[in-house]
Structure 1
Amino acid sequence: MTRAAKRRSLSLRELGDLAQRAWVATGAAFVLPSAALLLLGKESWAGASDDRVSAVMSTTYSGYLREVGGLTVLVGLTEWGLLSFATLGVLLLAHQPMRKRIESPRGRDAATVFIALLVVAVYVGFGVQRHPGLFLEPLASSAALQVWVEACAYLAPVAALVVAAGYAVAMVRGELFAQVALIAVACVAGGGLGTAVKRSAKFAPTPFRAPAPSAGAKVSTVPPKAATPTRSPNVLWIAVDSLRPDRIDPKHTPRISALLGESVYFENAIVPVPRTGPSWAAALTSLAPMTNGIETMFPSRSASDLSKLALPAHLVSKGYRTLVTSEYAGEFFGRVDFGFQLGSIPRAELMEISGQILLARAPLVLSHFGLLYTSTPWVRSLLPAKLVELTRGMPNFSHPAVLADDVLAHLEAPAAQEQPFFALAFYSQPHFPYTSSPEFGKKYHVSGSSSSIRYGRDVANDTPITTDADRQQLDGLYRASLAESDAAIGELLDSLAKRGVLDDTIVVLSADHGEGLYDCAECVGHGDNLRSMTTLRVPLAFRLPNGRFPDAAPQVLSQYVSTLDVYPTLLSLLGWSPIAVHEGVALLTRKGRPATIPERTLFVETGEWLWTTAAVPKDRLVYPPITEIARLEDDRIAIDPKYEPVIRAAKHRAAIRAPYKLVYEPTADGARYRLFDFEKDPTDEHDLSASMPEIAARMKDELRKDVLRHAFVIPAGEHFLTRPPMPSDSHW
């Protein structure tokens, strides 16, 4: 070997020195900022800082927070190792030029730190670009950061090629011992990864009422048995949070549109309350909120057992195997017992919220964790289960493909070969803040709109939307999140069709409520007012398998129906007896044909006001925000019972009989009744109560009768109060 060749070769000593410098420099660039953010971040909950809530979190859940913090540090150390590996690859490529051009050790150290900073910045930026919802606040406040993270979409692949080139050069030019060392490192890394695969704790469906399959059980590839006369059809209920019927079309939501085209589609379904939890409680029991007892998102434990009333429990009694799966908006299914056997849902009580806040204080770690979580089910299975659950429950992050994984695992379990299944897949992504992956978000981005709403918009943000471009961008955010959910729904249906399951499955499509997209100044979010029909009207469709329902034909029906009707309709389709206490009606006959539906008035109400937004009525009956009216009840968030009567009294209510809507609005000075023709006046601008007194009087009488049929409600002038006895003095 010539002297020149020896000078160009990489010795084992030099390799070790480069690896040490890469490790130290990457630590300075990644670990130190991560530790500082973790220690110095500020707690907040429900959109506002609250010292009392922070104190409860830190004292009550100190052990849990230490565990989450430890797992976050572990993930951070792993990422440190991976980033050090990348930095080393760049150093291996730059080794010869640096040795020639930089003579002083300090200069080389400075160059190494610069390279490490660049590697960390590129890969953190790439993670932020892939999942901007996790970083809405810094992105909204910095246009320069937005430019950088968008550039990282192109810089990260280039950096990967540079790293690969560096290791290739080292293998070619390195001395034998250096080459052996590189191979040994690769083998150790592979062995460690294999061990992690075997020992990883997976986030799996949680058993509510029956044992879950063992974590190590192999997934069955045997398709479910074909339909028999004695076996009931499967039922798949697909629901999309905040889904508006007027945002469904073949161009933007091709899979949902195709599903509706194969279904009996009721295009004018009304929800009893445009708030996720109470809406689901009503739909799954066919009982209005005041009847089933779930009037808020945070009911007491004593009111939360609906297992004797709800559809899932009824299906279990008939031999069905039941599952509910969702992301962050589905946490309510863990708060109320509907009788599901399995739940693949994140828990979002104060303990988990405190964990999410802690995890959010490690954004550099979170940027890569999001990449790993959304890569493949196999990679996701390697991640700590607690952090997976916390990430899945974050309101500004969504990966809807996980729902299909849950449903397929459910139907492929051994027990599913003998039993029909009922699965409720609730897609959360179109809920505000309307975040999506970049391939969807870029497609709907509106040029000229404010950079502060490029990636998402929280309705708790009181900054007004004033320009047409910003309104279009907000609609684009919503459409992007809906398009990503649409694609995930299509993947689920394709997988079921490929397995031959779809041919014997009743598919229901619905939503928990619609969404206000700044159609008017108060048309923001959902649940806070009854302005317009955008939050009240949802799609409702039943896709019926031909083998079971040969007489059923896809069609669109325009009569106004309620999501209270889903439960009775499924009983009718399954050939089971109706339940007398149900307030909904069967929309389809046993053969799947449209039933004769009596003309009726539908009743709706607002949810509780969690915090002040543009949608909350200015002259409402006022009560404190959720951070003050909630309490911990056996480790779960519940509204203090002493506030339930005032929340009930303060609710806006409406009676709907197309084309009219009569709205009841209680204030401190009395109550207003206003009448609108919502088909001609979609944003409720013109009160018709004076010009149509007969219609207003009739609908007012119907509304009052509906509210006062509950024995615990009494009239007080135009207000509705709760009948004594009130909560005991101990509550005060």
Structure 2
Amino acid sequence: MGPNQAPLFPIRIFKISFYHSVFFYLFFLLFNTSFTIMGVDVGDFLKQYLGAFFGVYLSTTVKVFSVSLFLHTTLFTLVHLIFSFLNKQKISWYVLVGSVLGIEFLALSESMIRFPQIYGEFFFFRYPSFAPLLYFLTDHIPPILPSMVLILALGILFGLLFRQTYLYKTKESFFAILHVLVLGFLHIHGLYFFGLVYFAFILWQGKRYQNVHIKTYGLGFVFLLFLYLIPSIWTSISSFRYSKQLGKPPIYILSADSLRYDKIGYQINGSSITPNIDLFKRDAFQFHDHHTTIPRTFPSWTDTLTGKYAMDHKVRDMFPSPEEKQRIGSSSFPTIQQFLNKIGYENYAIGSFAADIFPRANFGFDSVFAPNFNARIMTVQRTAETQIMVLPFLVGSWFSGGMYLEELDGLSTWGDGKRLINRFRSLVKEKKDSPYTITYFSSVIHFPYTPSYPYYKRYTNSDYYGKYKYLKFVDPTDANLPNQEEISQIRSLFDSAVYAFDQEFGEMIGYLKDQGIYEDAIIILTADHGEALYEDIHGQGHGEHLRGESVTHVPFMIKFPNSSKFQEARESEREFFGITSSVDLVPTFLDYFKIPYPSEYPGKSLLGVLKEKDWKEDRFVYAETGIWFSDVGNHFFQKQRIPYPNILSLHQVVPEEDYQIMITDPIYRETIAFSKHRSIQNSNYKLIYIPTREGVKFELYDRKKDPLNQTNLYPNHPMAAKMKDVLYKTVVKWESASVAGEYLIPSSLSDINENL
């Protein structure tokens, strides 16, 4: 040991930590790397991507390894600190490694019990022989048990630390206290880079800590405590900048991906799966026949927030080109947030993985607390997911972790609403009842249906031990129908996810009430689209077809401020049964705040029908399908479509757009638009337009008598000709489409000349 080597942190500890990190990083990279995402083979895509952007992959590897190295070094120094205080200086390397592995196994166990979906691919696709371990943990061990053992270990550390300081009051013990506090602060905030710099400093300083005055350690201790309190202090100070303004209530758009209308108040064993939403309904206006315009997240939210159809603003799929994206928020397609910003509102978005659409375009939010989505982020996620021993620390299973890699916010399998609720509370605490909006978008109901503990057990069959025990893997190329036991399990997972969102919703509403904001707020509950769950031949998912009620029929409720004239309506006067559309939200807001319409909108303000039961006229609403991800399969909609290549062939990674995944070829974009199924429906009937190579097919269904859309009434029903005429006029008007025979020919984006 050198003359300046600190006895608490000898260099051998850092060497052991480094070797440990390298070994396990390479081990899991070699044996836990998969070329599938939820069962879909993306090997060709990854080979193309890694060849073209190898530098990005290399930086990703360095990033993930750096996090792993910081975490392992933290654990090794803490374990060695405990042995040092027990007067056991010469601990063999295998005892240290065994202790760290024990801690990691406890953290992994807690994480697998709380979020088994995150480990689904490992246990069901890569190493299914290990699945019984996951079953045992989730069936018999509550997550509090491994957590308590970890807390006990930390308790021993702190107990020994304070005992050492109290008895001896040496500079060494004061330095150890600061060391633990620094590591805790770096861990909570995910500052792994600064952590590695800090460890380098520890190695460099050796015994120099003995030259520091004890009072300086006291100042350092106070300074660190201040750093811990800064977020809370800053929020409290910042809140003084905001105040209530008459006529400008806070606005909360609370939504969940894939939330079906018929799940609101749905009963299982005599109890509703949405008890908190049921209570909210008593204070809100409920629109019972509300429909999304397109059952895919990106275009659906764009329709909702601009008030214009996807066929008009051209964002018609999840992978819009730069030319299409720049139309959002332009002078031709302003958003609700931009309108409200002009009258003094600040706008915020909070969401989990499906909310990755919000950072990708100019929706008018001042801040977006949601993950992004691009090829670089996907690479970070796939690399981090291989490191199964480190993953628990990255998703918060180790005492407030979860901020190391912001890319993991976009994991589709991480259905934990607590992190979103914390962000919601922090914003509300700061902004209070000033003019601001929060668009909250939960993804827990989106496939693969991933509610965390204990919600994934809520309605599922505890005796089921198949690949859908914790989540529903999605493979768009697989048209095989699960058996009845599997379908029951999948539906139960979905219902459990709905219940989990309802709990999130209840926490938000409860917090608004506790803060005295609820009474004077505008609160909206809705969804971007619904979900098919193997009804008839409809399959599972959304955006593929327009049959049935499940994919477009979503909840829509509005609660106005108690001071508003609208809220004076009795509970019996707050139910509207006429058909409404997601494009109605913008006209409703413009009407409420008396903002002049900048252009014509396809939707209608709903203020005029409050206290009514239905429209006075026969209203029609429009919808269209999303992009088909796969070009194979035996689904009915695959047999009724204009074929084009699958998504892995269509898209491009665009480095100039932060490596976003886009469909940039104008020919493909026009083919996708031309191939879409379209529908027009009123309160009683739905007409579906289906272009095929053999000609255009039409399906007409009675929505009330035939909600599953099994009996085609076209062309003999009296409504057939009228609805076909309405559909064609709607598309020609809003898309500037032309008609060739019975085919609707979409306008090309390159042909549209307007000042954006």
TM range (shorter): 0.7 to 0.9
The separation in 1 between residues aligned to 2:361 and 2:162, in whole angstroms, is: 62
Larger deviation, residues 531-540 vs 719-728: 719-728
The separation in 1 between residues aligned to 2:455 and 2:360, in whole angstroms, is: 32
Deviation at residue 183 of structure 1 after TM alignment:
7.8
Instruction: Assess, with a 3 A threshold, how the Cα gap between structure 1 residues 595 and 716 changes in structure 2: closer, same or farther.
Output: closer
Could you tell me which residue of structure 1 aligns to residue 411 of structure 2? Answer: 394
From 420, 441, 444, the equivalent of 2:435 is 420
Which residue identity lines up with residue 620 of structure 2 in the other structure? T
Instruction: Assess, with a 3 A threshold, how the Cα gap between structure 1 residues 60 and 496 changes in structure 2: closer, same or farther.
Output: farther
Could you tell me which residue of structure 2 aligns to residue 637 of structure 1? Answer: 661
The answer to whether the 8 Å contact 2:38/2:474 transfers is no
Could you tell me which residue of structure 1 aligns to residue 423 of structure 2? Answer: 406
The answer to whether the 8 Å contact 1:276/1:513 transfers is yes
Which residue identity lines up with residue 144 of structure 1 in the other structure? P
The separation in 1 between residues aligned to 2:180 and 2:9, in whole angstroms, is: 19
From 690, 711, 718, the equivalent of 1:665 is 690
The answer to whether the 8 Å contact 1:441/1:480 transfers is yes
Larger deviation, residues 653-662 vs 75-84: 75-84
Larger deviation, residues 285-294 vs 272-281: 285-294
Deviation at residue 643 of structure 1 after TM alignment:
0.5
Deviation at residue 74 of structure 1 after TM alignment:
2.9
Deviation at residue 266 of structure 1 after TM alignment:
0.4
Could you tell me which residue of structure 2 aligns to residue 285 of structure 1? Answer: 306
The answer to whether the 8 Å contact 2:529/2:553 transfers is yes
Could you tell me which residue of structure 1 aligns to residue 487 of structure 2? Answer: 471
Could you tell me which residue of structure 2 aligns to residue 652 of structure 1? Answer: 677
Instruction: Assess, with a 3 A threshold, how the Cα gap between structure 1 residues 215 and 55 changes in structure 2: closer, same or farther.
Output: farther
Which residues of 2 match residues 287-366 of structure 1 at below 5 A?
Answer: 287-304=308-325, 305-307=327-329, 308=331, 309=333, 310-366=335-391
The answer to whether the 8 Å contact 1:521/1:614 transfers is no
Query: 5+ unaligned residues in a row in structure 2: which ranges?
Result: 1-6, 194-229, 266-270
From 524, 537, 549, the equivalent of 2:553 is 537
The separation in 1 between residues aligned to 2:85 and 2:176, in whole angstroms, is: 18
From 433, 446, 458, the equivalent of 1:443 is 458
The separation in 2 between residues aligned to 1:616 and 1:224, in whole angstroms, is: 57
Which residue identity lines up with residue 355 of structure 1 in the other structure? V
Instruction: Assess, with a 3 A threshold, how the Cα gap between structure 1 residues 408 and 27 changes in structure 2: closer, same or farther.
Output: same
Which residues of 2 match residues 49-68 of structure 1 at below 5 A?
Answer: 49-50=41-42, 53-55=45-47, 57-58=49-50, 61-68=53-60
* SS of equivalent to 1:683: coil
Q: Deviations over 1:212-266 (max 9, x none)?
A: xx9998113657877554x422221111110112112273222222222210000
- Give the TM-score normalised by structure 2: 0.79
Could you tell me which residue of structure 1 aligns to residue 218 of structure 2? Answer: none
Larger deviation, residues 271-280 vs 361-370: 361-370
The answer to whether the 8 Å contact 2:445/2:494 transfers is yes
Could you tell me which residue of structure 1 aligns to residue 468 of structure 2? Answer: 453
**1:74 and 2:66 are equivalent in the alignment:** yes
* SS of equivalent to 1:486: helix
Identity fraction in percent: 22
Consecutive aligned runs of 4 or more in structure 1 exceeding 6 Å deviation: 16-30, 85-96, 108-115, 164-174, 176-183, 195-199, 214-217, 223-226, 590-595, 724-728
Instruction: Assess, with a 3 A threshold, how the Cα gap between structure 1 residues 449 and 667 changes in structure 2: closer, same or farther.
Output: farther
The answer to whether the 8 Å contact 1:26/1:120 transfers is no
The answer to whether the 8 Å contact 1:18/1:91 transfers is no
* SS of equivalent to 2:629: coil
Instruction: Assess, with a 3 A threshold, how the Cα gap between structure 1 residues 146 and 23 changes in structure 2: closer, same or farther.
Output: farther
The answer to whether the 8 Å contact 1:544/1:552 transfers is no
Which residues of 2 match residues 54-453 of structure 1 at below 5 A?
Answer: 54-55=46-47, 57-58=49-50, 61-81=53-73, 83-84=75-76, 117-140=101-124, 141=128, 142-150=130-138, 153=143, 156-157=146-147, 159-160=149-150, 163=153, 185-194=176-185, 200=191, 218-220=234-236, 222=239, 228-229=245-246, 231-249=247-265, 251-304=272-325, 305-307=327-329, 308=331, 309=333, 310-372=335-397, 376=400, 379-380=401-402, 383-384=403-404, 387-388=405-406, 390-411=407-428, 413=430, 416=431, 420-453=435-468
Q: Deviations over 1:542-566 (max 9, x none)?
A: 1011112353344222221111111
Which residue identity lines up with residue 395 of structure 1 in the other structure? S
Deviation at residue 29 of structure 1 after TM alignment:
7.4
Deviation at residue 714 of structure 1 after TM alignment:
2.6
The answer to whether the 8 Å contact 2:286/2:576 transfers is yes
The separation in 2 between residues aligned to 1:490 and 1:672, in whole angstroms, is: 45
Which residues of 2 match residues 503-582 of structure 1 at below 5 A?
Answer: 503-549=519-565, 550-554=567-571, 555-582=574-601
* SS of equivalent to 1:575: coil
* SS of equivalent to 2:381: helix
The separation in 2 between residues aligned to 1:581 and 1:711, in whole angstroms, is: 14
Which residue identity lines up with residue 353 of structure 1 in the other structure? M
The alignment yields a C-alpha RMSD, in angstroms, of 4.1
Larger deviation, residues 310-319 vs 118-127: 118-127
Deviation at residue 201 of structure 1 after TM alignment:
9.5
Deviation at residue 60 of structure 1 after TM alignment:
5.2
The separation in 2 between residues aligned to 1:406 and 1:167, in whole angstroms, is: 31
Deviation at residue 424 of structure 1 after TM alignment:
1.1
Instruction: Assess, with a 3 A threshold, how the Cα gap between structure 1 residues 138 and 721 changes in structure 2: closer, same or farther.
Output: same
Could you tell me which residue of structure 1 aligns to residue 200 of structure 2? Answer: none
- How many residues are paired up? 682
Instruction: Assess, with a 3 A threshold, how the Cα gap between structure 1 residues 560 and 489 changes in structure 2: closer, same or farther.
Output: same
Q: Deviations over 1:435-455 (max 9, x none)?
A: 111211122221343421111
Which residue identity lines up with residue 677 of structure 2 in the other structure? H
Deviation at residue 62 of structure 1 after TM alignment:
4.3
* SS of equivalent to 1:71: helix
From 720, 727, 745, the equivalent of 1:703 is 727
Larger deviation, residues 675-684 vs 255-264: 675-684
Could you tell me which residue of structure 1 aligns to residue 645 of structure 2? Answer: 624
Deviation at residue 32 of structure 1 after TM alignment:
2.5
Could you tell me which residue of structure 2 aligns to residue 693 of structure 1? Answer: 717
Deviation at residue 89 of structure 1 after TM alignment:
9.9
The separation in 2 between residues aligned to 1:528 and 1:431, in whole angstroms, is: 15
Deviation at residue 368 of structure 1 after TM alignment:
2.2
Which residue identity lines up with residue 394 of structure 1 in the other structure? L
The separation in 2 between residues aligned to 1:157 and 1:404, in whole angstroms, is: 22
Deviation at residue 514 of structure 1 after TM alignment:
0.5
